[in-house]
Amino acid sequence: MDKNAFIKMVFEKAKAAGFSDCELIVSSGEEFEVNIFKGEILQYTSASSDGIGFRGLYNGRMGSSSTMVYDEEAADQLVTNALEAAVLIENEDVQFIYGGDEKYPELESYYPALADVPAADKIALAKELEKTALSLDERADRTEGSEVIYSMGSSRIVNTKGLDVSSQVNMTAAFIAPVLTENGKSSTDFVVESATDFEALKAKKDEMAQRAVKTAADFLHAKSIPSGEYKVLFDNDTFSTILATFSGVFSAENAQKGLSLLKGREGETIAAECLTITDDPLRPGSMASRPFDAEGVACYAKNVVENGKFVTLLHNLKTANKQGVKTTANAGRAGLSGSVRVAPTNFYVQPGTRTRDELAADVGEGLLITQLQGMHAGANGVTGDFSLAAKGYVIKDGKIADPAEQFTVAGNFYQLLKDIVEVGCDLKFGMPGGSCFGSPTVWVKGLSIAGQG
């Protein structure tokens, strides 16, 4: 059945079933991935998918459901499932179906030329990337993967209040993870880069391979370090990961549920003065950018932390109404049938002025951390506690020196925000997905390190 006819049918059935207002999100996506191993295709994946999510207000409660089938039976099931869900819900928060804004920001997020890159070119790039990486060092004899991916997503939100908005994003990315082996010890590192232009991605190939091989080579000879309190620099990638892991503390939804210690602390100083954190949904070239949020509210950039002062939590219509403020247009939807939650967009630490080497010179003796592992287990998004396996380099006499591994770094995110000494100028964003996180190098006064000795 034609999608528009299906939408109309669902709206009619929902009205007849007693829903006062309802909304559909129509999403579709394309994925392509090729992985090369020793010059041959190891895995080739291609897909297209679509689905429709429904949410509707029934006696003030929001029920939701989803389907990937578009016939009359599916329309009935969509409405019935949402109705069954709505009558079970007891939460009394006021829920919204939004009629839309007058104006939405113009956003460049879809790059038609990317969609037309032939599979053969992507395969060729993945092969070249592997070949380059393996040619750089004779100890590199294989990889854990040499991949090129392409991803496209589109979504349309249409509701009975007259909202009908659409957006489309796409991007391409490459991944290389060389494995180096020497005297029976293996070491690996991965580098991933994304682009909105295929030629630009190709141009990054050599630098990606060099960076991955150099890092893997460094860690062939890494050693553990003595336990103790260290001055720590987190490199840009690593602090992005920390920010991503703890970004939930800035969600108004979590705060209202007692799952963030930032509840009611707007206006307070919660971080060092050098720290400003921004959420910018309009950043060009990011898959996390969007003109409107999951409720159809027009998006805009805002500081969440400004010079150490806590400005605002991230809100959707429900949490904003509950707190008596205006939404920050950060509604996000977890899956098609997921309820509307709060999600950051491009969420990042604003850069300072000095380079990583300049910061290291002032650190004198300390540690540069370049990798963290086990974030999903060793970091608690509610309490802020973290205790994580790490890798990096010893900072000696103000210089980045010997590689270090087999140690852990432990602390608490809330405390860490206060203990930031300075942020570097090397702002870098991670891989864009539903949200995208970015940071420059961040200097933290002191953290507890556990090593061998």
Residues paired with residue 58 on neighbouring β-strands, in sequence order: 61
Nearest-approach distance from CB 198 to another protein, in angstroms: 19
Helix (H, G, I), strand (E, B) or coil at 178: strand
Minimum Å distance from CB 410 to another protein? 4
- Closest contact distance (angstroms) between CB of 297 and another protein is 20
Nearer to another protein, 16 or 47 (CB): 47
Shortest Å distance, C-beta 432 to another protein: 19
Helix (H) or strand (E) holding 301: none
Name the 3-class secondary structure at 220.
helix
CB of 157 to another protein, least distance (A): 18
Q: Are 358 and 448 in contact (CB under 8 A)?
A: no
Q: Is 42 left (phi over 0), alpha (psi -120 to 50) or beta?
A: alpha
Closest CA to 319 of 95, 100, 159, 98: 95
d(CA 319, CA 314): 9
Joined together, the tokens standing for residue 349 give 């630490």
Closest separation in Å from C-beta 271 to another protein:
16
Of 217 and 282, CB closest to another protein: 217
* Spatial distance between the Cα atoms of 344 and 314, rounded to a whole number of angstroms: 7
**Closest among 355, 359, 350 to 426, alpha carbons compared:** 355
Given the complex with another protein, which of 353 and 415 has the nearer CB atom? Answer: 415
Cβ nearer to another protein, comparing 337 with 346: 337
Distance of closest approach, residue 341 Cβ to another protein, in angstroms: 9
CA distances for 163 relative to 9, 20, 55, 135, 297, angstroms: 17, 15, 14, 55, 10
Measured distance CA(42)–CA(23) in Å, rounded: 42
How far apart, in whole angstroms, are the C-alpha atoms of residue 150 and residue 88?
Answer: 40
